[in-house]
Amino acid sequence: MNWSDLLGARLIQQLFLHHGQQARALVQQFPHPGELLQLDDTALSQWIPDPELLQIWHNPTIRHNLEKELEWYDKYQIQIDYLLDPQYPKRLKECPDAPILLYHRGSATKEPPRSIAIVGTRKATSYGKQVVRDIIQSASLLDPKPIIISGLAYGIDIEAHRCALENNLDTYAILANGLDQIYPSAHRKTAIHILEQGALWSEFPKNTPAYPLHFLQRNRIIAGMSDVVILCESAIRGGGMATARQAASYSREVYALPGRIHDLYSSGCNELIRNQTANLFSSTDQLWKELGWNRNKKKKQNPKELSIFETPSELSILILERLADHARLTPDELLDYCPQASLQDLSIALTALEIEGLIEQDTGGFIKRR
pLDDT of residue 141: 93
The residue type found at 324 is A
pLDDT surpassing 70 at residue 138: yes
Cβ contacts of 181 within 8 Å, gap of 6 or more: 209, 210
pLDDT bucket at 47, cuts 50 / 70 / 90: confident
Q: Strands 115-119 and 228-231: what pairing? A: parallel
pLDDT of residue 305: 41
Say if CB 265 and CB 123 are below 8 A apart: yes
Residue 230, helix vs strand vs coil: strand
pLDDT surpassing 50 at residue 106: yes
Cβ contacts of 258 within 8 Å, gap of 6 or more: 266, 269, 270, 273, 280, 281, 282
Interatomic CA distance for residues 16 and 18, integer angstroms: 5
Q: C-alpha distances in angstroms, 94 versus 23, 91, 162, 362?
A: 16, 6, 29, 43
pLDDT tens across 107-126, in order?
Answer: 888 899 999 999 999 999 99
Mean pLDDT is lowest, of 15-29, 72-86, 135-149, 159-173, for 15-29
Residues 308-334 have a mean pLDDT of 72
pLDDT bucket at 363, cuts 50 / 70 / 90: low
Instruction: Evaluate whether 115-291 and 303-369 have a shared fold.
Output: no
CATH topology of domain 115-291: Rossmann fold (3.40.50)
Averaged pLDDT score across all residues of the chain:
88
pLDDT tens across 196-229, in order?
Answer: 999 999 999 999 999 999 999 999 999 999 999 9
pLDDT surpassing 50 at residue 272: yes
Say how far residue 356 (Cα) sits from the centre of its chain. 36
Interatomic CA distance for residues 36 and 39, integer angstroms: 5
pLDDT of residue 52: 86
Residues 228-256 have a mean pLDDT of 96
Does the structural domain 303-369 have CATH classification 1.10.10.10?
yes
DSSP assignment of 237-278: SSHHHHHHHHHHHTT-EEEE----TT-GGGHHHHHHHHTTSS
pLDDT tens across 149-204, in order?
Answer: 999 999 999 999 999 999 999 999 999 999 999 999 999 999 999 999 999 999 99
Secondary element (H or E) of residue 328: none
Residue 1, helix vs strand vs coil: coil
Predicted model pTM: 0.78
User: What are the domain boundaries of the chain?
Assistant: 1-75, 115-291, 303-369
pLDDT surpassing 60 at residue 312: no
Residues 221-245 have a mean pLDDT of 96
Mean pLDDT is lowest, of 59-63, 192-196, 291-295, for 291-295
pLDDT of residue 296: 58
pLDDT of residue 334: 80
pLDDT bucket at 298, cuts 50 / 70 / 90: very low
pLDDT bucket at 244, cuts 50 / 70 / 90: very high
pLDDT surpassing 70 at residue 300: no
Say if CB 295 and CB 137 are below 8 A apart: no
Residues 95-118 have a mean pLDDT of 93
pLDDT of residue 222: 98
Q: Is 338 exposed, middle or buried (0-12, 13-18, 19+ CB in 10 A)?
A: middle
pLDDT bucket at 326, cuts 50 / 70 / 90: confident
pLDDT of residue 307: 39
Interatomic CA distance for residues 161 and 89, integer angstroms: 20
Phi, psi torsion values for 22, nearest 5 degrees: -65, -40
